[in-house]
Amino acid sequence: SSEVLEAIENVIEDVLKSLAQKKAPVLTLANRSDWRNIEFKDSVGLEMIPHCTTKQIRSDCPRSAPKFALMLKILSMIYKMVQTNTYATKRDIYYSDTLLFGSQSVVDNIINDISCMLKIPRRSLHILSTTKGFVAGNLSYTEEDGTKVNCTCGASAVTVPSNVQGIKNLISHAKFMLIVEKDATFQRLLDDDFCNKLSPCIMITGRGVPDLNTRLLVRKLWDTFQIPIFTLMDADPHGVEIMCIYKYGSVSMSFEAHHLTVPSIKWLGLLPSDLERLNIRKDVLIPFTKQDQNKLASIQKRPYIACQPMWKKELEIMAASKLKAEIQVLTSLSSDYLSRVYLPNKLQFGGWL
């Protein structure tokens, strides 16, 4: 915490120095959304380069002055929380003054900018994000406040903890971990008692694009148990994008890649080649939109696809067919095909990339 306080004090000191010299204070930020500031490393994923391009948030420019003020406001809130050892969610911060902040996304963006500017992970700033992910299966742990949590498959899952760093005493006999893109598929596998039938496993869903806590938990489970991790996604560009976030990270959070990515993640399904192999009827597939085409083209150009020749092939099959499929498409074969046939076969015979 002293490191956080010191980092904030340094920023404020610079502001005061500028004022003393009758100069307009400026905050300097890394350009988080610029691909030119990102390098791809096999072992880490997408990582921010040390000497990246920056942008200035000036206090004397009408366009950036409001952001400058909001950043100082949130810095002062963080400073107080670290001093008093209290925590707040991003929603708490937004609701502390909705008129001032204007929208939740403004708060979220500024918090990421501050984290990147101070080079301090967000959870060390005493800001928790609300969690939307679920975890189930052969796993138990103790939360920071001493609560014991058991995720062993009942019909319901456990919400991913909001302070992943604080959990301890993790115990699991799982043979593998399965990341499921969508909540509906996750619930279906729970109902089919998938976690226990095949061999003990841990299932996680970020319910679409994963939030920070879900990604932190996947990484923590990998660090703790070093078991294979598979992903089950829709066979569409959006599903591939989500899988890449878990595996290689995202551009906007590349400054935290070391805590968030798991490059050993495998693509289990739904593979574009599976659709041909299983003779899935064309009439249950969905035609590409222009947006799908653009998304796929942008993924194909990314640096990590070049070192994944098998993935490259799958994306080429998808691009050529201009068709996409949701995981639910397997119910056209039989209602429990996913848990009874598809996943057991894939896991047993190594049908992943």
222-238 pLDDT tens trace: 999 999 999 999 999 99
What would the mean pLDDT of 340-352 be, rounded to a whole number? Answer: 86
The answer on 106 and 170 residing in a single domain is no
Write phi, then psi, for 337 (nearest 5 degrees): -60, -40
- pLDDT score at 267: 93
Q: Which residue has the tokens 């880490």?
A: 44
Contacts of 247 (CB under 8 A, 6+ apart): 45, 231, 261, 262, 263, 265, 304
- pLDDT score at 38: 75
The confidence band for 332, taking pLDDT boundaries of 50, 70 and 90, is confident
The answer on 147 and 51 residing in a single domain is no
- pLDDT score at 155: 67
Residue 299 CA, chain-centre distance (Å), reads 17
| Residues 323, 30: Cα–Cα separation, whole Å | 38
Is 80 exceeded by the pLDDT of residue 112? yes
| Residues 160, 141: Cα–Cα separation, whole Å | 11
- pLDDT score at 134: 93
The confidence band for 154, taking pLDDT boundaries of 50, 70 and 90, is low
Query: Coil, strand or helix: which one is 334?
Result: coil
The answer on 259 and 237 residing in a single domain is yes
Is 70 exceeded by the pLDDT of residue 255? no
The confidence band for 271, taking pLDDT boundaries of 50, 70 and 90, is very high
pTM score? 0.79
Q: What is the pLDDT of residues 20-64, one digit of tens each?
A: 998 888 888 877 767 777 777 777 777 777 777 778 888 888 888
Domain hosting 321: range is: 134-349
| Residues 75, 88: Cα–Cα separation, whole Å | 13
The answer on 255 and 122 residing in a single domain is no
| Residues 73, 80: Cα–Cα separation, whole Å | 11
CATH code of residue 95? 1.10.10.10
The answer on 278 and 175 residing in a single domain is yes
CATH code of residue 232? 3.40.1360.10
| Residues 9, 1: Cα–Cα separation, whole Å | 12
Query: Does residue 167 come out as left (phi exceeding 0), alpha (psi in the -120 to 50 range) or beta?
Result: beta
The answer on 257 and 287 residing in a single domain is yes
- pLDDT score at 205: 93
Buried b (16+ CB within 10 A) or exposed e, 51-78: ebeeeebbbeeeebeebbebbbebbebb
Last residue within a domain, chosen from 128, 152, 187: 128
Contact 338, 330 (CB under 8 A): yes
β-pair type (229-232, 176-180): parallel
| Residues 255, 38: Cα–Cα separation, whole Å | 9
- pLDDT score at 203: 92
Contacts of 310 (CB under 8 A, 6+ apart): 353
Q: How many domains does the chain have?
A: 2
Last residue within a domain, chosen from 101, 128, 155: 128
| Residues 349, 263: Cα–Cα separation, whole Å | 22
Active site residue 95: yes
Contacts of 289 (CB under 8 A, 6+ apart): none
Beta bridge partners of 58: 26
The answer on 149 and 240 residing in a single domain is yes
The answer on 284 and 158 residing in a single domain is yes
Contact 214, 206 (CB under 8 A): yes
Is 90 exceeded by the pLDDT of residue 122? no
Active-site entry in 95, 141, 337, 342:
95
Please report, in angstroms and rounded to a whole number, the separation of the first and last CA atoms in the chain.
42
Q: How many CA atoms lie within 13 A of 85 on its CB side?
A: 1
The answer on 173 and 237 residing in a single domain is yes
| Residues 289, 295: Cα–Cα separation, whole Å | 10
Last residue within a domain, chosen from 128, 156, 176: 128
Percentage with pLDDT > 70 across the chain: 96
The answer on 142 and 119 residing in a single domain is no
What would the mean pLDDT of 194-214 be, rounded to a whole number? Answer: 87
The region of weakest confidence among 85-99, 119-133, 232-246 is: 119-133
The answer on 151 and 250 residing in a single domain is yes
Q: What is the DSSP secondary structure assignment for residue 341, as one 8-state letter?
A: I
Q: Select from 288, 214, 292 the least CA-distant residue to 250.
A: 214
Query: Coil, strand or helix: which one is 196?
Result: helix
Contacts of 96 (CB under 8 A, 6+ apart): 77
The answer on 196 and 286 residing in a single domain is yes
